[in-house]
Amino acid sequence: MSSAGNLNSPNYIGSCMEMCERYKDFVVGVVAQTPSLIQSPGQIQLTPGVKLNSGNDGNLGQQYNSPENVMLSRGADIAVVGRGITQADDPVQAAEEYRTKLWTAYLKRIGS
């Protein structure tokens, strides 16, 4: 999803979202990088590729977005953080930092 050169074409994304809408009573949400894909109010967006410092990993083509970007610009309801925590010197401290930054950005998005 968040790697450079992924195979998600606009047609593929459109077809997936049509299926989500058609089966909205069954589909809980989507994994997406693109904002405003979800049309049904009850569905959630999970956004992967979150890291404190935006950019790429220079290795696997992973494209990272900051916690603020995924919450404020990309419309994430849930942010998926992987290597930013698992490869940190102190994973517990890193998880807390992500939680704080993501929650702060979420509150900003909803106007609190």
CATH number, residue 85: 3.20.20.70
Is residue 73 in a domain? yes
Domain count, the chain: 1
Model pLDDT, residue 6: 59
> pLDDT tens, 5-34?
556 677 888 888 888 889 888 888 888 877
Model pLDDT, residue 88: 93
Position of tokens 């049309």?
Answer: 39
The predicted model gives 86-101 an average pLDDT of 96
Work out the end-to-end distance of the chain between its first and last CA atoms, rounded to an integer number of angstroms.
30
Model pLDDT, residue 102: 96
Is residue 3 in a domain? no
Model pLDDT, residue 57: 65
Measured between alpha carbons, how far is residue 86 from residues 61, 68, 89, 93, 110 in Å?
Answer: 18, 20, 9, 11, 29
